[in-house]
Amino acid sequence: MSLVDVITRIDALIKKYEKYSAEKPEAAAKSKDPFNNAYMEVLERINELTLKSDENGAEKSRAIKATLNAELRRAKAALLEDQVAKLDKLVRKGKSVTQETVASRQALVHEVRKAVEGIPDGVHSPRKPFRAAGPGTSLGGGKQPVTIDAEKRDHRMDKNPEYYQHSEASLQFQKDFEAAKARQDKSLDTIDQGLTTLRGIGEAMGETLRQQDVVLDAIHERMDEVTGQLKTNNMKLKGMVTKMRSTRNFCLDVVLICIILGLVLYLVAMFKK
């Protein structure tokens, strides 16, 4: 039984015995104030969505994460559209609503809206759509055009005439940068040497294999020849052995031996007399 089957059966069983379930969803304390009820509901929903967004954050697979985030965004949008809108309408409803209550309720609604929008749903910065290189696209990605204006002065130098001079910090930074670059170059050289060596080894291996391949082909051919010769020899031997052991020769031998024995016995008998 697979996991899916187990889950389906469990669901069926729960449905069947739902009425006996002790966990009845507690009816929220229905106060007389529809605004408060709706407000409580919205707060609960916000909590649920926040929990969900935390779970999404823990998801490792990017694809699944994207799907879950999309669902979350849909839920947020739905919440904003339906329930927060409802809340808005209910601001003025209810008994004994004063201006202050209206103002405070509106503030609450505003906070709720901000809270819903604040639920993290994986959207970071507006990502630019990937455009295939075409005649209209620029390599810089559509940045601001760079202009050099020889006549217009650079105002950064007005406040601080030393703006473009080297300071100690900048000199140090440059030294550090060059040292780091030198180290990197050295490492890259080592890698280069290593790779060249590996390539040499790989090529040598390939060539050896090619040589051996030729030799193996020659061996293969010779083996075929030898096998053929062996088969011929075996058949010849078989024929020869069959001829030697043929029944006719065997009977002939037996008969001749009997005749010789008979002769010998006859001679012995003769001598005995």
Partner 1 sequence: MHMASEGDELVKRAEKLCALSVLQLRLKPDWPAATALYEQAAKCFSQAKAFGKARLAHERAAHGHDRQGAAWQSAKELAKAAEAAQHAGDWGDVAPLWRAAALAYATASRQTAAADALAKGALALEQHDPKAACELHQEAIEALEREGKAGASGDVYRQAIGASLRMGRSAEGVCMLLRWAAAAGEAGLHASQAKAYLGAVVVWLHAGDAAQADAVYQDAMDVAVFARSEQAAAGGTLLDAYRSGSAERVRRCVAGALALFGDLDNQVARLARKLPDGDLQAMAAVLAGASAPFDAGLDEADLT
Tell me the Cα Rg of the chain.
Answer: 50
- Work out how close the CB of 215 gets to partner 1 at its nearest, in angstroms, rounded to a whole number: 6
Q: What is the DSSP letter of 83?
A: I
What contacts 80, CB < 8 A, 6 or more positions away? 113, 116, 117
Number of residues that bind partner 1 (CB under 8 A): 13
Positive or negative torsion for Cα 117, 122, 125, 127: negative
Query: Which of 47, 190 has the CB closer to partner 1?
Result: 190
Of 118 and 206, which has the nearer Cβ to partner 1? Answer: 206
Contact 121, 59 (CB under 8 A): no
Binding region for partner 1 (CB under 8 A) out of 27-35, 86-94, 207-215, 231-239: 207-215
246 binds partner 1 (CB under 8 A): no
Tell me the Ramachandran region of residue 96: left when phi exceeds 0, alpha when psi lies from -120 to 50, beta otherwise.
left
Beta-carbon-side half-sphere exposure of residue 185 (alpha carbons within 13 Å): 6
203 binds partner 1, rule: CB under 8 A: yes
Does the protein bind partner 1 through residue 229 (CB under 8 A)?
no
- Give the CA diameter of the chain: 165
Among 31, 104, 174, 211, binds partner 1 (CB under 8 A): 211
204 binds partner 1 (CB under 8 A): yes
By the rule CB under 8 A, 214 interacts with partner 1: yes
Question: Does residue number 207 form part of the binding site for partner 1 (CB under 8 A)?
Answer: yes
Site string for partner 1, 158-197 (x = CB under 8 A): -----------------------------------xx-xx
CA distance 2 to 22: 29
DSSP string, 181-221: HHHHHHHHHHHHHHHHHHHHHHHHHHHHHHHHHHHHHHHHH
Among 146, 215, 244, 270, binds partner 1 (CB under 8 A): 215
Q: Is 220 in the site for partner 1 (CB under 8 A)?
A: no
Q: In the complex with partner 1, which residue's Cβ is closer, 31 or 190?
A: 190
| List of residues contacting partner 1 (CB under 8 A) | 193-194, 196-197, 200, 203-204, 206-207, 210-211, 214-215
